Amino acid sequence: MSVPSNKTLNPAEWTLLRALILDEVNHTGIPPAEPVVDRLGMTPKEGGENLDGLELLGMVSLRRVSGTLPYVQVKWPGREEAHQRGESIPSPRDDARDLLAFLRNPGGDVRPGSDQVNDSDIIRRFGWHQARALDAARVLADHDQVKLHTPSGSFFLFLTASGRRSA
């Protein structure tokens, strides 16, 4: 789905995005949007429209279930937007630069040139929660610097030729 060039984040979408980011820290997996929408005093219709707008902008992914608001996962562009707006949320792009440096020379229990680095290696090295580590990995994957694999509940990645040589 392409984003219309004139589509920008409206104030209600921004309010919802901020609340979703803060709420996501307290969850594992993909949390439902309904409690956040309720807490903000939005009707289900308003919440659904704002979620659709955030999805159109590429800031969230939605998993729809019949009869209720969808489950929502904030994507790295949503967190980057919050960081750029001055929220005390780490920049996924900055984290990706740190992660790329680590992947090139992991040290510790991970030997240089390893074929695979797991989420637990990244979390242990940086002290990040899994969503933050996955955001950094997705930035790199979106720029073809790693191959990212996300089996149930965890992830692992491999440096690509581009990731090995880009600076």
The pair of three-digit structure tokens given for residue 148, joined into one six-digit string: 């990212």
Length of the chain: 167
pTM for the predicted model, two decimal places = 0.80
Mention the CATH class of domain 11-84: mainly alpha
Q: Rg of the Cα trace of the chain?
A: 17
Per-domain residue ranges for the chain?
Answer: 11-84, 92-165
- 117-154 per-position pLDDT tens digit: 889 989 999 999 888 899 999 999 999 999 999 887 78
Question: Does the fold of domain 92-165 match that of domain 11-84?
Answer: yes
- The candidate with the shortest Cα–Cα distance to 54, out of 31, 24, 85, 79, is 79
CATH 1.10.10.10 fits 92-165, yes or no: yes
The model's pLDDT over 76-116, given as tens digits with 9 standing for 90+, comes to: 999 999 999 998 889 999 999 999 988 887 776 666 656 68
